[in-house]
């Protein structure tokens, strides 16, 4: 199981123009781990306590909810 490297995330965050930490985290996972599948990304988030809190804060309870969030934020 892939674990989020929070030290690398912090470095990645410094170069991001986004304000939302969760959106930055999603971009980081896609970039750093070369993931594009929503189910894979959701599994990574679900297995990290901090990321899990970010999911809960946005009422995301499954991969479909994450996909809807990602689609909404890209077209919002």
Structural domain boundaries in the chain: 6-75
CA distance 41 to 49: 14
What is the residue-level pLDDT of the chain in tens, covering all 76 positions? 799 999 999 999 999 999 999 999 999 999 999 999 999 999 999 999 999 999 999 999 999 999 999 988 776 5
Quick one: DSSP state of residue 58? Answer: T
Is the separation of the CB atoms in 44 and 33 below 8 Å?
Answer: yes
CA distance 46 to 42: 6
Q: What is the structure's pLDDT at 74?
A: 73
Environment class of residue 27 by beta-carbon count within 10 Å: exposed (0-12), middle (13-18) or buried (19+)? middle
């Amino acid at each position: 199981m892939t674990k989020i490297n929070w030290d690398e995330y912090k470095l990645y965050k410094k170069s991001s123009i986004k304000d939302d930490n969760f959106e930055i985290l999603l971009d980081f996972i896609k970039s750093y781990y070369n993931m594009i599948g929503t189910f894979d990304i959701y599994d990574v988030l679900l297995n990290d306590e901090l990321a899990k809190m970010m999911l809960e804060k946005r009422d995301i309870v499954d991969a479909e909810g994450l996909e809807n969030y990602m689609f909404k934020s890209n077209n919002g």
